[in-house]
Amino acid sequence: MAKLKSNYKCSLDLTFDLLGGKWKLRILWHIIHGDNRFSLLLKAIPEITEKMLTTQLRELEKHNLIIKK
C-alpha cells in the first residue's frame, strides 16, 4: 500500500496512491456494477485470493472510497 503524503502537487499522484495497484480499480468496477458482497467479488475476480481481497477492501475503506455496512 502506498502511504499517502500530506501534500500533493498533482491530483493524479494522489489518485494513483489511492487506486494504484493490480486490484483496486477492478474491485471498484465490480462494486459499482452490483457485486457488493465479499463472496460475489471473489466469484467475479477468480484470480484474487481471499487475503488480497480483504486487504484491498480494507485499504479502500480506510481511505473512505467505500463504506462497509
Look up residue 55 and give its amino acid: T
Residue 1 confidence (pLDDT) above 70:
no
Residue 35: partners with Cβ closer than 8 Å, 6 or more residues away = 41, 43, 44
Cα–Cα distance measured from residue 4 to residue 8, given in angstroms and rounded to the nearest whole number: 9
Domains of the chain: which residue ranges? 10-20+34-69
In this prediction, residue 18 carries a pLDDT of 87
In this prediction, residue 62 carries a pLDDT of 93
Give tens-digit pLDDT for 11-58. 898 888 888 889 999 999 999 999 999 999 999 999 999 999 999 999
